[in-house]
Amino acid sequence: MRAFFHYPEQAGTPPIERKPPLGLAYMAAVLEQEGHKCFIFDQYSTGAEDGELLDAARRFKPDLIGISAVTPMIKTAHRQTGMLKEALGKDIPVAVGGPHVSSSAEAALQEFPRFDIAAPNEGEFAMRDLARALEEGRPLEGVRGIVYRENSHIVRNPPQDLIEPLDVLPFPAWHLLPMHLYYPTSPTIYYRGGRKTMGIFSTRGCPAFCRFCDSHSIWTRKYRKRSGKNVVDEMEALKEKYKIGHIYFLDDTFHVDKKRTLDFCNELIERDLDMTFECYGRADFTDLMTDDIMRKMKQAGLKLMWFGLETGSQETLDHMRKGISLEQAERSVRRVRECGILAGAFWIIGFPNETEAHVRQTFEFYRRLPLSWHDTFSILTPYPGTEYYWILKEEGLTLHEDWERYYNRHMPGLLPPVRTKHLGPEELVRLKNEGDRMAWEYNLTDHFHYYLKHPHHLARNFTKNPRAFMTYPGLFVKLKWERFLNRAFKVPLPAEPVGM
């Protein structure tokens, strides 16, 4: 069987960040183990034209197509499905998976008639069983983990069991990915020190209940982990094969399990790979960790820990069911910094009850924290599958469901699909831009200080990406000049988002 996997382009703009479509690479690895031939077309990161997609598919001659889509990609995925079916000239089954269909497989098949099969949740074994059934000419009835059309009905088969232990999975099929596109590190990501980077997914599922988050639709809330040894094996392989020096863990919450965290650190220290890493943590789990564990993580190579802090208003934190307090958030960031690790945070504005005063509270909190990376602001976007999807709808705060416009940040000229009870979409964009500007002013100052202290990183990053560096002085002058005009002559700040 020949399986062609596709990760569509981001409609409307160039990619935010080139990161590997690991889901497709995992599925391809599993299919290859079974003797199938696979191909991955990462249109998102390559920026390839649709014509190139069709050429690649024609050359490969697939028997099965698998497309991955987040919500804002689903329309593109559907349009391209039509093009692929037409170009290949025969009835090749197209399965779509990933976050959007994980929460709403039936609705997606109803809304998008060209998809034949939707595969919600974890896809490795659903895809394996689907390929086996198609190859053997068996009906889809027996394939667990898929939703498909039968005559005019949509049929949902029983789900696959969650994969456990996760160590049974092979490493992703890196050889099918344009790996070089994921390496380059921008000068703004200074702490990676110019090392080649790659992402790893080492745990699945987050036990928390944040109302804006869609992770549970894919993974459930059950926390599953790969062993420390298995993860370090993957790091070692990436180092040997691709000279990767820095890993960004894409897990929702890396350090839920203290023992696994320690096992991983000990293994990494013992093997002395000279690799660094960054990960996402939750403030409450970090709060529970002893300084010993934090220091061990630092010793193992942890450069930066990211936190979803979201807001500076306790009322808003409680509304979104974040499950942390502002004190915990602040304590965790300070502790991480005291242990010699950098700290970054993600922020969201636009929660249903938010007023401008709430957003300003967030800005103040943001300024107070000793963060090392100042991330820009997202606007709450109610992805289907999240609790806010239903809450906002019921409260009349959802403005439309044009999925293509369901981005939560980095999209110039795009209004959010929601409002709050007190702020309209334009006001949310104005506040977001004000926040982003503040973030960039901090970032430029922080980068300057970091590079003063680490001139060798400056040299390394500069040689890796000189063009990106050249934008630094221009951005700095622009931000300062606009701020000066705003303060001195009340000239409004430009509405366009900032960033490098």
Residue 474 has a CB neighbour count (10 Å cut-off) of 10
397 touches ligand SF4 by CB under 6 A: no
Contact 165, 180 (CB under 8 A): no
C-alpha span between 5 and 86 (Å, rounded)? 17
Closer residue to ligand B12 in complex, CB, 143/268: 143
Dmax (CA) for the chain in angstroms is 74
Least gap, CB of 71 to ligand B12 (angstroms): 4
Which of ligand SF4, ligand B12, none does residue 389 bind (CB under 5 to 8 Å by kind)?
Answer: none
Pick one of 39, 43, 72, 255: the residue that binds ligand B12 (CB under 6 A): 72
Which of ligand B12, ligand SF4, none does residue 16 bind (CB under 5 to 8 Å by kind)?
Answer: ligand B12
108 touches ligand SF4 by CB under 6 A: no
Closer residue to ligand B12 in complex, CB, 361/443: 443
- For 377, the token pair is 């602001």
Pick one of 20, 308, 352, 497: the residue that binds ligand SF4 (CB under 6 A): 308
Binding characters for ligand B12, 380-419, by CB under 6 A (x = yes)? ---x-x---------------------xxxx---------
Pick one of 28, 31, 39, 66: the residue that binds ligand B12 (CB under 6 A): 66
Nearest of 71, 78, 63 to residue 110 by alpha carbon: 78
Closer residue to ligand B12 in complex, CB, 146/339: 146
104 touches ligand B12 by CB under 6 A: no
C-alpha span between 159 and 147 (Å, rounded)? 9
C-alpha span between 6 and 4 (Å, rounded)? 7
Peptide bond into 165 cis (omega under 30): yes
Part of the chain binding ligand B12 (CB under 6 A), chosen from 64-72, 270-278, 346-354, 393-401: 64-72
Q: Which DSSP helix (H) or strand (E) runs through 34?
A: none
Which of ligand SF4, ligand B12, none does residue 282 bind (CB under 5 to 8 Å by kind)?
Answer: ligand SF4
Closer residue to ligand B12 in complex, CB, 167/291: 167
Pick one of 116, 129, 252, 436: the residue that binds ligand SF4 (CB under 6 A): 252
As a residue count, the chain comes to 500
Q: Dihedral, CA atoms, 324, 247, 175, 2, nearest 10 degrees?
A: 0
Pick one of 239, 260, 282, 464: the residue that binds ligand SF4 (CB under 6 A): 282
Cα 454-455-458 angle, rounded to 5 deg: 100
Nearest of 471, 422, 418 to residue 447 by alpha carbon: 471
Contact 67, 96 (CB under 8 A): yes
328 touches ligand SF4 by CB under 6 A: no
Q: Which position has the token pair 């919600």?
A: 120
- For 349, the token pair is 């504005």
- Residues in touch with ligand SF4 (CB under 6 A): 206, 208, 210, 213, 215, 252-253, 282, 308
- Residues in touch with ligand B12 (CB under 6 A): 7, 10, 16-17, 19-23, 26-27, 44, 66-68, 70-73, 95-100, 119, 122-124, 126-127, 201, 213-215, 218, 250, 252, 383, 385, 407-410
